Chains A and B, each alone.
Chain A
Amino acid sequence: MKYFIQVTLTTYVASMLVYALWSYITFQTLDKGWVGSLVYLPHGCRVIFYCFFGARSLPALYGAEVTGPTLIWGDQYLAYWGFASICSLLSVVVAVEILKWSRTSTFSYSIIKKMNFANYKFLILVIIISALFNSIFTNLVLGLMNNVVINATVIARFFIGDVLGSMVFVLWLIIMFNMLKDRKLYPVHDD
């Protein structure tokens, strides 16, 4: 229970910070707000936290997905965005589970034992597959619930945004943790 609370707090706070940073940069100019979706950093949070903490991170990730946009948009927050968030999270879950089923790698899901990004191929595959699922099925949900036509260009933009955003987020984490390791601020266990 204690570990679950730690995971929830870490995931929620980090996801909210990333969403706040992304939305602050993106919504500076509302008419060009879609440009921000080409580097959608919060998708990196979904991938990283689900890969490291597993299903325990899902409540916090969903909480951040709902409260982040609610704080930004207030009354303009649309209820069906919540369903789209579920779809986005499911995309990551499905991508990870498919790759685990295929015996992709020896990737450890424990943040305590292996806080490293050595097995980057697994993360890259999760990012690509989850971005593909997310771009199709989240837009399907949004299109059906909002009764609007969403075209292929928007889907491609979602895909590019999720991939680039995740890559930027992962690169930033790699740089930060490498720096912490070099400064010997935390020990890394190789086993």
Chain B
Amino acid sequence: MIQGSHTSWTGSLVYLPHGCKVLFFCYFGYRALPALLLADLVCYYLEFHNNNLPFFYVASFTTLASVVIAAEVLKWSKVSIDSRISFLTKPNLVNYKFILLVIVLSALLSSIFTNLALAGLNDVVINVPVIVRFFIGDIVGSLIFLFAVIIVFRMLLVQKYFEFIK
């Protein structure tokens, strides 16, 4: 969607992949990390070929680390009623507050530390509006992805394609 556009940075205002990272880590835990990392690396390769790939790989690592740290900090703090989300036993999005908090905290961490890593490695100045754009993009993208997942699962539930396991 962002290819060929002169204002391709606007795509980063709705960065959908952050939603994948949050949701799949919350549901599948550490088992999801290799696949998430691989998906990031493959997508970057297909999108940018050999241009600045190491920087993007570092960015993938820091964003994933942000999600892991955010989720673990919130679990440690027992922030929500039940932060133990398991896809197999409870495929629901009832405990949305935990996911929303992970989205906000990981977006904050990712926007700062991904840009810090990129600025340090690339020896460029990344200013605050870019960081704010990352933050907004991660949050808006994640929320849209989350709503899409909710709608799909609701539809599947209504059509009785699956049942909740109590």
Which A residues are closer than 8 A to B by beta carbons? 98-99, 101-105, 121-122, 124-125, 128-129, 132-133, 135-137, 139-140, 143, 149-153, 155-156, 159
Contact = CB atoms under 8 A, between A and B. Distances in A.
Nearest to B118: A152
A152 B76 contact: no
A155 B125 contact: no
Given A102-B98, A152-B127, 14 more contacts: A98-B101, A102-B79, A103-B81, A104-B79, A105-B77, A125-B79, A128-B105, A129-B105, A132-B108, A136-B131, A136-B132, A143-B127, A155-B131, A156-B116
B135 interface: yes
Contacts of A149: 125, 127
A155 B128 contact: yes
Interface of B: 73-74, 76-81, 97-98, 100-101, 104-105, 108-109, 111-113, 115-116, 118-120, 125-129, 131-132, 135
Of A103, A128, A139, most buried by chain B (CB within 10 Å of CB) is A128
Majority-rule SS of B interface residues = helix
Contact of B113 (A102, A128, A133, A156): A156
Of A102, A132, A133, most buried by chain B (CB within 10 Å of CB) is A102
B55 to A, nearest CB: 14
A61 to B, nearest CB: 22
B132 A101 contact: no
Q: Top 10 closest A-B pairs, CB basis?
A: A132-B108, A121-B77, A152-B116, A152-B115, A149-B127, A102-B97, A152-B119, A140-B128, A151-B125, A152-B126
A155 B125 CA distance: 12
B129 A102 contact: no
A98 B131 CA distance: 21
Of A104, A152, A155, most buried by chain B (CB within 10 Å of CB) is A152
Contact of A152 (B100, B101, B131): B131
A98 to B, nearest CB: 7
B99 to A, nearest CB: 11
29 contacts: A102-B80, A102-B101, A103-B80, A103-B97, A105-B78, A121-B77, A121-B78, A125-B74, A125-B77, A125-B79, A128-B73, A128-B105, A132-B105, A132-B108, A136-B108, A136-B112, A136-B131, A136-B132, A137-B132, A140-B129, A143-B127, A143-B129, A150-B127, A151-B119, A151-B125, A152-B118, A152-B131, A153-B116, A153-B119
Of B78, B111, B112, B125, most buried by chain A (CB within 10 Å of CB) is B112
